[in-house]
């Protein structure tokens, strides 16, 4: 995916305008941070991009193709969404990391153990983590394993909803570096953590349903 654009996106829920006339052009490799007070519609915006919120107006366009019920699967296959709370899962960390590769579309793309370990080590884990029970990990550890799982999918666009909210300072930096370190990776992150406001980040504020760019930081 080279470009993706939100054109006049509006979301209305229970007679309340949550998002109003959202316009955003994202090019390959862009790193976007969306900030705003709680309840301002940041998570709704990410869900709307993925087609999980009904838009009263507006469209999402990727590489010139309008996202509709017939193209949504193709669009989603190029994105990865990570929420603020990790999935509940019974099994080892290795089995959990393999979970998405059991889905038909990802079969045959399963990463080797070395690749898995390399990503997990970048996220601060030792190799023993692979055999640990996923459920026995702390919330922050589960979140980092979920981030590793998402990165191994090697998608074009990452939609991150408060992924660092349960992490300590050192791990927040690790995660941010992983997402912003690659020029090819397109990232839209919603976060309260100020650490995201780093170099090359396009920062937007979402307030009263309107999205405004603060200006690219050099």
What helix, strand, coil percent values describe the chain, rounded to 5? 35, 30, 40
Q: Is 38 in the site for other proteins (CB under 8 A)?
A: no
Q: Is 42 in the site for other proteins (CB under 8 A)?
A: no
Helix, strand or coil, per DSSP, at residue 16: strand
Nearer to other proteins, 157 or 211 (CB): 157
Residues near 135 by beta carbon (within 8 Å), at least 6 away in sequence? 88, 89, 90
Give the residue, chosen from 62, 81, 96, 196, that forms a contact with other proteins under the rule CB under 8 A: 81
For the bound state, the minimum distance from the C-beta of residue 69 to other proteins, rounded and expressed in Å, comes to 3
* Residue 192: half-sphere exposure toward Cβ, Cα within 13 Å: 9
Closest C-alpha to 57, from 21, 23, 95 = 21
Residues near 29 by beta carbon (within 8 Å), at least 6 away in sequence? 183, 184, 185, 186
Give the residue, chosen from 39, 70, 184, 218, that forms a contact with other proteins under the rule CB under 8 A: 70
Q: Is 58 in the site for other proteins (CB under 8 A)?
A: no
Nearer to other proteins, 47 or 203 (CB): 47
Q: Is 87 in the site for other proteins (CB under 8 A)?
A: yes
Give the residue, chosen from 10, 50, 132, 205, that forms a contact with other proteins under the rule CB under 8 A: 50
Q: State how far the Cα of 66 lies from the Cα of 148, in Å rounded to an integer.
A: 30
Residues numbered 131 to 190 that lie near other proteins (CB under 8 A) are 149-150, 153, 159
Supply 7's token pair. 């054109």
Of 101-109, 164-172, 197-205, 209-217: span binding other proteins (CB under 8 A): 101-109
Binding footprint of other proteins on the chain (CB under 8 A): 47, 50-54, 69-70, 72, 76-77, 79-83, 85, 87-88, 99-100, 103-106, 149-150, 153, 159
């Amino acid at each position: 995916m080279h470009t993706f654009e939100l054109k006049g996106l509006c979301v209305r829920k229970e007679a309340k305008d949550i998002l109003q006339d959202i316009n955003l052009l994202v090019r390959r490799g862009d790193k976007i941070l969306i900030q705003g007070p709680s309840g301002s519609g940041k998570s709704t915006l990410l869900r709307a991009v993925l087609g999980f919120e009904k838009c009263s107006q507006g469209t999402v366009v990727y590489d010139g193709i309008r996202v509709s019920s017939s193209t949504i699967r193709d669009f989603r296959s190029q994105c990865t969404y990570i929420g603020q709370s990790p999935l509940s899962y019974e099994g080892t960390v290795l089995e959990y990391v393999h979970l998405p590769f059991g889905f038909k579309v990802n079969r045959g793309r399963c990463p080797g153990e070395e690749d898995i370990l390399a990503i997990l080590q970048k996220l601060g884990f030792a190799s023993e983590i692979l055999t640990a029970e996923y459920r026995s990990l702390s919330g922050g550890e589960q979140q980092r394993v979920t981030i590793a799982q998402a990165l191994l999918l090697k998608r074009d666009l990452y939609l991150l909803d408060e992924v660092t909210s349960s992490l300590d300072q050192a791990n927040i930096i690790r995660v941010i570096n992983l997402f912003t370190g690659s020029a090819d990776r397109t990232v839209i992150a919603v976060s309260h953590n100020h650490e995201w406001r780093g170099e090359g980040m396009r920062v937007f504020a979402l307030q009263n349903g309107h999205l405004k760019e603060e200006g690219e930081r050099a």
